[in-house]
Amino acid sequence: MVSLEKLENWPSPKNTRIMLITGIILVIIILPIMSYFFTISKFPVSFVESQLSFSGEVLKQHYAVMLAGNGLAAYRTAQILDYVYMLSYGTIYFCLALMIARRFDTTSRWRQSGHYIAIAGILAACFDAIENVFILATLTDPLDFPNSWAIAHSCFALAKFIDMFIVIGWLIVAFVQCTRCSA
């Protein structure tokens, strides 16, 4: 198993707090802007349904709806803005995992697993970034892109969601555990 000892004291607790606050501020700023562009794009289904369609034909149908309503440019803009959102939530997951892990004893499995969860938080954002590369690629020819791009897009979306589920689950359980231990 890979050692992540460096995360014991890097980034420093002060820098970890600064990064967390920065990530939260970025989310507060970017989420409404990104949501606005998704809304005006008139994307016809929920994001989860779209991201996990595993079908180029289904995605082309969604794009056709947006093309008819002149919403494709807004959708593209939202996908580009999503990179700022990824940076912010990846930072938040990373910092929260480190902050919670550091509350446990240095030899604790909770502390050690927290270091891996911190990296997993960044990995979720990386999966999301790769997913968006495929989305942006499909938008270069929205009605005739290779169907394999939609499948790849959905695979990275699924990996992102699984990773996020693990990270958020660990954050909740570890937080409850560390508050019980310190009480």
User: Mind listing the pLDDT tens digit for each residue in 4-20?
Assistant: 788 888 999 999 999 99
pTM (2 d.p.): 0.93
Taking 80 as the threshold, does the pLDDT of residue 3 lie above it? Answer: no
Instruction: Identify the pLDDT of residue 49.
Output: 85
Instruction: Identify the pLDDT of residue 63.
Output: 95
- Give the list of residues 6+ apart from residue 1 with CB closer than 8 angstroms, or none: none
Contact 19, 95 (CB under 8 A): yes
- The counts of H helices and E strands in the chain are 6, 0
**DSSP 8-state symbol, 6:** G
Q: Where are the alpha helices (DSSP H) in the chain?
A: 13-41, 47-51, 56-68, 72-101, 109-138, 147-182
Closest among 37, 113, 143, 111 to 81, alpha carbons compared: 37
Taking 80 as the threshold, does the pLDDT of residue 111 lie above it? Answer: yes
Instruction: Identify the pLDDT of residue 166.
Output: 98
What mean pLDDT is predicted for residues 140-160? 97
Above pLDDT 70, what percent of the chain?
97
Closest among 94, 69, 67, 83 to 34, alpha carbons compared: 83
User: Mind listing the pLDDT tens digit for each residue in 45-98?
Assistant: 887 888 999 999 999 999 999 999 999 999 999 999 999 999 999 999 999 999
